[in-house]
Amino acid sequence: MQQIILKNLGKISYQKAWDLQQELLTEVIGIKRENRDKETNKTPQKHYFLYCEHPHVYTLGRSGSIDNLLLSESQLAEKGIEFYKINRGGDITYHGPGQIVGYPILDLDYFFTDIHRYVRYIEEAVIRTLAEYDIEGTRIEGMSGVWLKADATRPDRKICAIGIHLSRWVTMHGFAFNIQTDLQYFNYIIPCGITNKTVTSLEKELGKKVALEEVREKLNKHFSDLFGFKLV
């Protein structure tokens, strides 16, 4: 069973978290290159799972459109929101306080080399976590992330966004799960470039506060079960 080094970074700027991801990605790829040339006494591979919260920030994926950001530079500065163009897949999304952000740095050669399966497993861990709160999470064909189905008064709404990047089958970036998130910040973007759906949070759906640590513990169990790894 692969051991995954779990790090809870707490509240951290997006740039610092991105720099750390790049540093760990480089480390994992470096071990992979060394081991490729060794016949015996291979160095054990390292894998990481980072949790954090970010100050208000919008990130635009490599396939996204800047038109989905509805604020000017001066408006972003006025509201204290950062903006980054980054190398993950997907369009624009928001990160902020009260959100569980997860960045797995995994060498998929030790699990499975299937990007779609990897994304489905992240979705499934969130879906199973929602089920523990009697909420039915679902998928929408052609759209990554976890959604709640439309009802009589509300459209389909996203509760968890996913955007990843792979290099030599090593992952970075990950998911953003809305728990106590201030949803008004999604009003300043077209989330993921989708105009006919909306966003939600666990707190909004339950009508009460839920501790982030409680949700993280449930996520850890489901990630461990799905991937067959041990978080240490």
- Known catalytic residues? 192
Amino acid (one-letter) located at 75: Q
Sign of the Cα torsion 188, 193, 198, 204 reads negative
Find all residues with CB under 8 Å of 106, minimum gap 6, and list them. Answer: 4, 47, 48, 49, 170, 171, 227
* Count of alpha carbons within 13 angstroms of residue 141, beta-carbon side: 0
What does each C-alpha distance from 231 to 4, 142, 160, 172, 227 come to in angstroms? 5, 31, 22, 17, 11
Beta strands in 106-156, from DSSP E residues, in sequence order: 138-140, 143-148
Distance CA 107, CA 169 (A): 6
* CA distances to 105, 163, 203, 207 from 133, in Å: 28, 25, 11, 12
Residue 18 CA: distances (Å) to CA of 52, 113, 150, 195: 11, 24, 34, 28
Tokens at residue 23, please? 């540093």
Please identify which residue in the block is written with the tokens 């979705």. Answer: 123
